[in-house]
C-alpha cells in the first residue's frame, strides 16, 4: 500500500490516487524521471511497475478516457491510456533505443466458472517491445509466466547459469505446457490439450481440453506418466524452493 512521506522523498508526484496508491500515470511518470537520472549517470536500470488503476474500486483521473466507461472496463481503458502515454514519452528519450519494455498481466480477473478449471480464463497478454533490437512478430507458442524471464534473457543473448523452472520458448527442445490453479487444485495443461488436475486427498483427474471453447472432456483412462510429471513439477519445485535448491545454478 501507499506510504505517502516516502513517496514525497522519492520525488513521486501524486496528482491522483486511489485505494491502491498513486494512479498509473504518476507511476509511469516517476519511472521516466528515474530512467533519465540513471542514463545521465551511465548506469543501467531495471524498473518493475505494477498498475493499480485497473483494480477495484476502479477510480482514475477525470478527462482521460471515454466517460461512458465505468467499472473494470474503465479501469482497463485508463491503464491502457497510461501505458500508451508512457511508451510515447519514452520514445523521445536517449535511452529508448537500448531499452526493452515488457508488458504482462500477473493474473486474470477471475477463474470461477462451471468447469473444473476454466482454461480460457487463464489466458493473459504479453508484449515484449524494443523496436531497435527485437523484430516485430506474433508468437503463438504456448507458454506461461515462468517462461518469461528465460525467454527475455534469450532474446538479449545473455550467457548465464540458472535454476529457472521455466524455459526459453525459442530454444530448441522447448516443450510447450502451462501451469494453472485455483484455491483447491493445481494442473498442467499440455500442448496436445491433455489437462492433468491434482486435487486434495491425493486425487488426480484428466481431461481433453478444447482450446477454442474451453470445454473439458473427462478421460476414463488415466495417463499415469502425465500425472507423475505433474507431481514432479509441483512437488519438486516446492522442495527446491523451500530448501534453497534454486539458488545455485546447475551447470
Question: Across residues 223-241, what is the average pLDDT?
Answer: 96
Taking only the tens place, the pLDDT of each residue in 9-60 is 466 777 888 888 889 999 999 999 999 999 999 999 999 999 988 888 998 9
Confirm whether 224 is domain-assigned.
no
pTM, two decimal places: 0.88
What is the number of domains present in the chain? 1
Taking only the tens place, the pLDDT of each residue in 61-77 is 999 999 999 999 999 99
Tell me which residue range forms the domain holding 168. Answer: 4-174
Q: Which three cell numbers stand for residue 4?
A: 505517502
What's the whole-number average pLDDT of the chain? Answer: 91
Taking only the tens place, the pLDDT of each residue in 176-191 is 999 999 989 999 999 9
CATH of the domain at 57: 3.40.720.10
Give me the residues paired with residue 218 across strands: 207
- Binning pLDDT at 50, 70 and 90, where does residue 206 land? very high
Amino acid at each position: 500500500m501507499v506510504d505517502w512521506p516516502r513517496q514525497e522523498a522519492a520525488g513521486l508526484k501524486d496528482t491522483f490516487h486511489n485505494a491502491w496508491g498513486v494512479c498509473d500515470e504518476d507511476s509511469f511518470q516517476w519511472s521516466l524521471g528515474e530512467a533519465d537520472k540513471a542514463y545521465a549517470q551511465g548506469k543501467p536500470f531495471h524498473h518493475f511497475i505494477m498498475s493499480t488503476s485497473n483494480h477495484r474500486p476502479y477510480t482514475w483521473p477525470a478527462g482521460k478516457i471515454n466517460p461512458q466507461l465505468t467499472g473494470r472496463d474503465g479501469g482497463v481503458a485508463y491503464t491502457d491510456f497510461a501505458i500508451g502515454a508512457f511508451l510515447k514519452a519514452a520514445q523521445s528519450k536517449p535511452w529508448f533505443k537500448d531499452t526493452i519494455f515488457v508488458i504482462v498481466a500477473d493474473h486474470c480477473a477471475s477463474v470461477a466458472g462451471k468447469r473444473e478449471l476454466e482454461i480460457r480464463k487463464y489466458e493473459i497478454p504479453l508484449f515484449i517491445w524494443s523496436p531497435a533490437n527485437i523484430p516485430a512478430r506474433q508468437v503463438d507458442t504456448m507458454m506461461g509466466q515462468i517462461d518469461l524471464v528465460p525467454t527475455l534473457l534469450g532474446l538479449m543473448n545473455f550467457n548465464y547459469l540458472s535454476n529457472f523452472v521455466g524455459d526459453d520458448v525459442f530454444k530448441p527442445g522447448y516443450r510447450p505446457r502451462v501451469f494453472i490453479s485455483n484455491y483447491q487444485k493445481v494442473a498442467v495443461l499440455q500442448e496436445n490439450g491433455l489437462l492433468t488436475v491434482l486435487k486434495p486427498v491425493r486425487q488426480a483427474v484428466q481431461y481433453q481440453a478444447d482450446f477454442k471453447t474451453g470445454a473439458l472432456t473427462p478421460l476414463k483412462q488415466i495417463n499415469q506418466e502425465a500425472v507423475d510429471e505433474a507431481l514432479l513439477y509441483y512437488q519438486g519445485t516446492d522442495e527446491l524452493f523451500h530448501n534453497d535448491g534454486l539458488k545455485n545454478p546447475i551447470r
